[in-house]
Each structure stands twice: as C-alpha cells, then as structure tokens.
Amino acid sequence: MIKPLLWLLPIFIIIAILKSPMFKGWFGEKLVEKVANHKLSNDIYHDFQNVTLPTDNGTTQIDHIYVSEFGIFVVETKNYKGWIYGKIKDAKWTQNIYGKKHYFQNPLRQNYKHIKTLEHLFGLTSDNFHSVIVFTGDCELKSNFPPNICRLGNFTNYILSFNEPKLDKNQINQICQLLAENRLEDTFETRQHHIQNLKNQHRP
C-alpha cells in the first residue's frame, strides 16, 4: 500500500516549497524585477538585485537597488496576503488574515538599515537615497501609509515621480563600481550565512 503512494511524495515536497517564506520572498522579488525591467529604462536606472553587503555586525541583504541621476532607490519587497496595518514609527506591523494576526518587522526600519550601510559605502548623505517598500502579494494596505509604501502596480510610478538631479555621471559610475566590488557573491552559502547572522542578531 505504501508504494502506490510514493509518487505523491514529490508533489507534497513541491507544495511545501511553494508555501515556504523563502520561496514567497524570492517570487515577490522576481515580480518586482520583471516590472522594473519593463518600466524603468536601463539607460537611466542601473539595477542591482539581491545585494548582500558586509557590515560591522554581519551582513545586510538588499532586495533591489536602482542607481540614477535622480538618486539611489533602495527597494524592500514584501510578498504578503491579507490586510496590512502599521505606522511609520511602529517597530512591528500587522498582517491580518481572516482575523488571525501576524506581526513582522516594520520594513521602513529594515530599509533604513540598508540605506545607512549604503551611505557609509558610498560616502553620501541620506538626501541622495529614496526608501521604497513594495507589497507584491494579494494584500490590502489598510493604514494611511505614505507614498513610498507601494503595490506592485504603482511602485515604478513612485520612482519615476522624482525628476530632480542629484548625482552626476561620474558619481553614478563610481557607485555602480563600488556595488560590484563590495557585494558578496550571490550563492547558497552567502544566503545561509546571512540568515545565520540574522538569527544571531535577534537571539535573546
């Protein structure tokens, strides 16, 4: 009786992978990358995906960076469903799925840490950066969020709304070079090392 059921095992494994937070995060990032490639000109917006950089206490992983004359757009992706609540200064935001609440780190705070790492790397001040949060899943943003809290369908419009030059060509080339030279190789080992760093940082 067991043998006829063995063919179901790969299906269960695939379903488990598709439901895992890691896959959902990866899929959300790929959606953002695809939309950006379609709507943001490569001649103007130089894109860097899944960038892991060393920090004083480990590593930081940044989903998307778009370097342009209008500033550096640092994008954090969240692939969530349900109702999303939160305030700018809250440490945690709330995901409500059919009355069941889950709490997650305020992505604005998460992105603030990313930007601080980039400020130090590039030797630039905060006014050269734009923090962008993109929710890609089947969710509703229920709070009165600021314009930089976006959905998949409108985050490029937010990026394109900035038209004041901040960086010249030499600065852009230097920034792109620094990212290429300092980012860690995108491997399974790098991702596992980053996950372990996060666990160590949040260990009581």
What's the confidence (pLDDT) of residue 186? Answer: 73
131-175: per-residue pLDDT in tens? 999 999 889 999 999 999 999 999 999 999 999 999 999 999 999
Binning pLDDT at 50, 70 and 90, where does residue 100 land? very high
What's the confidence (pLDDT) of residue 58? Answer: 84
Residue whose tokens read 């959606």:
31
Q: Dihedral sign, CA of 122, 31, 130, 149?
A: negative
Residue whose tokens read 């370097």:
67
What's the confidence (pLDDT) of residue 97? Answer: 93
DSSP assignment letter at 54? E
Q: Is the pLDDT of residue 9 over 80?
A: no
Binning pLDDT at 50, 70 and 90, where does residue 41 land? very high
64-82: per-residue pLDDT in tens? 999 999 999 999 999 999 9
Distance CA 64, CA 49 (A): 5
Count how many residues are written for the chain. Answer: 204
Binning pLDDT at 50, 70 and 90, where does residue 57 land? confident
More confident residue, 194 or 82: 82
Does this model's pTM top 0.75? My answer is yes
Q: Is the pLDDT of residue 197 over 60?
A: no
Distance CA 171, CA 122 (A): 9
171-187: per-residue pLDDT in tens? 999 999 999 999 998 76
Quickly count helices (H) and strands (E) in the chain.
Answer: 7, 9
Binning pLDDT at 50, 70 and 90, where does residue 23 land? very low
